[in-house]
Amino acid sequence: MTKRLLSVASLLALPFVMGSAAHAEDGQAVYTTNCSVCHQAGGVGSPGQFPPLAGRVGKIAAMPGGKTYIVDVLLNGMHGSIDAGGASYMASCPLSRR
């Protein structure tokens, strides 16, 4: 993938990547703390500023290399332009490693 999905928002994918209820709860807590300010509580994004994540992360995870991509974005953040839901976004998303 040449374009990056806005990062930490991919925390919604933790249940797909990790697969357990405990990990899903942990992922939701991390998302709420680090991502929901920009991507909103339900992952709907903010038009013109931050792309929606709801309904997209699972599709990305199902692609070849998708899970690796999501983990990379979660850990390292991303910067640059992406297209999502028919709109282009230019933003920066910080890394989630602390």
CATH of 8-91, one of 1.20.120.340, 1.20.1440.230, 1.10.760.10, 1.10.357.10: 1.10.760.10
Backbone angles phi, psi at 84, to 5 degrees: -150, 130
pLDDT of the residue at 19: 54
Domain extents for the chain? 8-91
pLDDT of the residue at 17: 47
CA distance 80 to 60: 18
Which pLDDT band, with edges at 50, 70 and 90, does 97 fall under? Answer: low
Question: For residue 66, is pLDDT > 80?
Answer: yes
What are the pLDDT digits (tens) for 14-39?
Answer: 444 445 666 667 888 888 888 888 89
